[in-house]
């Protein structure tokens, strides 16, 4: 076959793929994620084993430290349980609507099996999907804070879009002032919050949590703290740079919060 | 398809897995192994094969992106095609080519991705895309690792064909 024909054939094929409707793209990605799941998982396990061997001494010391912390923590857990029961009693007594619905306590724990190698794109794959009840737009948390949301979910693999990804936009508020804004990611991998009123003084270290509007995300999931605040030139609002509580580049396990 | 070309696809898939594995160790500074593979085989086999291999490599990255399908395939195919095209104009075994070509391609790959993002959302300024695509650490990592990756691919490719 003539090279020019191959060239034009390939070019036309690629542009036809780009022109595919979004619904087809989602189906294709789901299928592809499922196909790639096992090889990607294998590569992750090989790396993990190599790292475990490399950090054997450190891990052993860490395990000893954790055992000590755990025994000290068990005493605290009794106190926490007491406080929780007291809180439950008082909430019922005051007949307050609970801020966090019961359903958000249902969490699916997942392992991170693949990270996006693209510099500008902050996403990763997790090893659970629709078969485990995971759906698009569900909140994804580390053990401490919100890290992102489910972008797409296949039968056994889902894609998580991190809060630092440029495609991520989440309603949030400053915990201290209750000032609302939109949390978004930038192409340089930062997390920012915009549309913050000029009248509200926002301080460095102010905590940021989800606003819970729109019904996709549960309310009051902690995200991070304000690193710095400034006024965008030509705009009538402030922008804050948010430092996530979790190191987003080192996440290995996450919990998907089922809010349905 | 020749045996060498068949193994080019196999090694490209391996490089994708390697890149994924290395992101656990160096999350933000992973060298673009997949891109290096595409460039290496494009330099060896020419622009058409570079395009086809680039499109194949782009498929894997589609999993991590959102929105319309095929942008990564188009961008990687362009990188492969371009690398194959310039192979006849340069001395492809030169160390300078091995050091600079993957870095230059990585810059353009990031730039095109940022421009696509801009076109889709209007989120960033055009000038910002030019400067935003310039990530010194990633470019440096690509420049440092690419001669090693090229040498590795040269060895495994010749072994694959001789078997």
pLDDT > 90 fraction of chain B, expressed in percent and rounded = 39
Q: Which residues contact A74 (CB under 8 A, 6 or more apart)?
A: none
Q: How confident is the model at residue A259 (pLDDT cuts 50, 70, 90)?
A: low
Q: Which of A90-99, A141-150, A168-177, B44-53 has the lowest mean pLDDT?
A: A90-99
pLDDT at B119 over 80: no
Is A117 close to B34, i.e. CB distance below 8 A? yes
Q: A176: how many CB neighbours lie within 10 A of its CB?
A: 15
Q: Which residues contact A119 (CB under 8 A, 6 or more apart)?
A: B106, B110, B135, B138
* Chain A residues near residue B21 by CB distance under 8 angstroms: 43-44, 46-47
Is B48 close to A118, i.e. CB distance below 8 A? no
Is A33 close to B63, i.e. CB distance below 8 A? yes
Please name every residue paired with A209 in a beta bridge, in sequence order, or none if there are none: A173, A222
Average pLDDT of every residue of chain A: 84
Average pLDDT of span A138-163 = 89
Q: How confident is the model at residue A181 (pLDDT cuts 50, 70, 90)?
A: very high
Closest by CA to A173, choosing from A211, A147, A223, A144, is A211
Q: How confident is the model at residue A244 (pLDDT cuts 50, 70, 90)?
A: very high
Please name every residue paired with A85 in a beta bridge, in sequence order, or none if there are none: none
Q: CB of B35 within 8 A of CB of B105?
A: yes
| Interchain CB contact of A35 with B (< 8 Å) | no
Average pLDDT of span A201-219 = 86
| Interchain CB contact of A91 with B (< 8 Å) | no
Q: Which two tokens stand for residue A209?
A: 């949590």
Domain regions of chain A by residue span: 56-165+251-257, 169-248
Average pLDDT of span A136-142 = 89
121-150 in A: which are within 8 Å (CB) of B?
A: 121, 123-125
Tell me the backbone φ, ψ of residue A18, rounded to 5 degrees.
-60, -35
What domain range includes position B12?
A: 3-162
pLDDT of residue A97: 47
B128/A187 Cα distance (integer angstroms): 10
Classify domain A169-248 at the CATH topology level. Thrombin, subunit H (2.40.10)
The per-residue pLDDT for range B44-92, each reduced to its tens digit, is 988 999 999 999 999 998 888 877 788 899 999 999 999 999 888 888 7
Interface probe, candidates B17, B64, B114, B115, chain A, greatest A C-beta count within 10 A: B64
Q: How confident is the model at residue A30 (pLDDT cuts 50, 70, 90)?
A: confident
pLDDT > 70 fraction of chain A, expressed in percent and rounded = 93
175-204 in A: which are within 8 Å (CB) of B?
A: 187-189
A18/A32 Cα distance (integer angstroms): 16
pLDDT at A104 over 60: no
Show the beta-strand stretches assigned E in A116-221.
123-126, 139-141, 146-153, 158-162, 169-174, 180-185, 191-197, 207-210
Return the CA Rg of chain A: 22
| Interchain CB contact of A17 with B (< 8 Å) | yes
Is B110 close to A46, i.e. CB distance below 8 A? no
Domains A56-165+251-257 and A169-248 share a fold: yes
pLDDT at B131 over 80: no
| Interchain CB contact of B5 with A (< 8 Å) | no
Average pLDDT of span A200-206 = 90
Q: CB of A134 within 8 A of CB of A11?
A: no
pLDDT of residue A231: 87
Q: Which residues contact A85 (CB under 8 A, 6 or more apart)?
A: none
pLDDT at A94 over 70: no
pLDDT at B100 over 80: yes
Is A43 close to B21, i.e. CB distance below 8 A? yes
Q: CB of B112 within 8 A of CB of B129?
A: no
B142/B149 Cα distance (integer angstroms): 10
Average pLDDT of span A187-205 = 89
Q: Cα–Cα distances in Å, from A213 out to A26, A159, A216, A245, B19?
A: 26, 23, 7, 22, 38
Query: Considering CB atoms only, which of B23, B67, B138 is closest to A115?
Result: B23
Is A18 close to B66, i.e. CB distance below 8 A? no
Average pLDDT of span B20-43 = 87
| Interchain CB contact of B1 with A (< 8 Å) | no
pLDDT of residue A154: 85
Question: Chain B residue with minimal CA distance to A115?
Answer: B20
Is B55 close to A10, i.e. CB distance below 8 A? yes
> Distance from A63 to chain B by nearest Cα, in Å?
21
pLDDT at A10 over 70: yes
pLDDT at B125 over 80: no
Q: Residue B59 belongs to a domain with what CATH number?
A: 1.10.1760
pLDDT of residue A199: 85
53-92 in B: which are within 8 Å (CB) of A?
A: 55, 59-74, 77
pLDDT at A100 over 60: no
Question: Chain A residue with minimal CA distance to B50?
Answer: A7
Give the CATH architecture of domain A56-165+251-257: Beta Barrel (2.40)
Is B65 close to A118, i.e. CB distance below 8 A? yes
Average pLDDT of every residue of chain B: 85
Q: How confident is the model at residue A253 (pLDDT cuts 50, 70, 90)?
A: confident
Domain count, chain B: 1
pLDDT at A162 over 90: yes
pLDDT of residue B92: 76
B155/B120 Cα distance (integer angstroms): 42
Is B65 close to A161, i.e. CB distance below 8 A? no
> Distance from A139 to chain B by nearest Cα, in Å?
17
* Chain A residues near residue B134 by CB distance under 8 angstroms: none
pLDDT of residue A107: 81
Look up the ipTM and state it.
0.78
| Interchain CB contact of B124 with A (< 8 Å) | yes
């Amino acid at each position: 076959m003539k090279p020019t024909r191959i060239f034009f054939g390939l070019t036309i094929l690629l542009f036809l793929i780009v022109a595919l409707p979004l619904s087809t793209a989602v189906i294709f990605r789901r299928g592809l994620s499922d196909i790639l799941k096992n090889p990607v998982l294998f590569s992750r396990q090989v790396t993990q084993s190599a790292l475990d061997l490399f950090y054997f001494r450190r891990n052993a010391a860490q395990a000893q430290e954790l055992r000590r912390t755990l025994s000290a923590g068990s005493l605290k857990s009794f106190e926490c349980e007491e406080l929780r029961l007291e809180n439950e009693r008082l909430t019922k007594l005051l007949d307050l609507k609970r801020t966090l619905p019961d359903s958000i306590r249902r969490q699916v724990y997942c392992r991170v099996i693949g990270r996006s190698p693209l510099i500008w794109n902050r996403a990763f794959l997790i090893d659970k999907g629709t078969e485990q009840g995971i759906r698009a737009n569900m909140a994804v948390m580390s053990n401490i804070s919100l890290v992102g949301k489910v972008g797409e979910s296949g039968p056994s693999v889902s894609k998580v879009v991190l809060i630092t990804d440029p495609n991520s936009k989440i309603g949030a508020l400053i915990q201290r002032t209750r000032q609302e804004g939109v949390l978004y990611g930038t192409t340089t991998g930062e997390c920012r919050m915009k549309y913050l009123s000029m009248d509200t003084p926002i301080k460095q270290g102010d905590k940021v949590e989800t606003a819970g509007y729109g019904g996709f995300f549960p309310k009051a999931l902690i995200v991070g703290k304000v690193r710095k605040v400034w006024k965008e030139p030509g705009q009538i609002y402030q922008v804050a740079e948010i430092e996530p509580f979790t190191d987003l580049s080192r996440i290995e396990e996450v919990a998907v919060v089922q809010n349905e | 398809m020749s045996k060498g070309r068949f193994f080019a696809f196999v090694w490209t898939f391996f490089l994708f897995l390697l890149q994924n594995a290395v992101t656990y160790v160096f999350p933000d500074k992973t060298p673009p192994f997949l891109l290096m593979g595409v460039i290496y085989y494009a330099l060896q086999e020419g622009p058409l094969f570079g395009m086809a291999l680039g499109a194949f490599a782009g498929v894997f990255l589609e999993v991590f992106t959102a929105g319309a399908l095929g942008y990564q395939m188009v961008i990687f195919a362009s990188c492969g095609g371009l690398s194959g095209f310039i192979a006849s104009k340069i001395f492809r075994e030169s160390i300078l080519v091995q050091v600079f070509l993957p870095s230059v391609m990585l810059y353009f790959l990031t730039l095109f991705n940022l421009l696509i993002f801009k076109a889709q959302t209007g989120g960033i300024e055009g000038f910002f895309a030019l400067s935003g695509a310039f990530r010194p650490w990633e470019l440096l990592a690509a420049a440092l690792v690419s001669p090693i990756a090229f040498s590795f691919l040269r060895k495994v490719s010749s072994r694959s064909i001789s078997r």
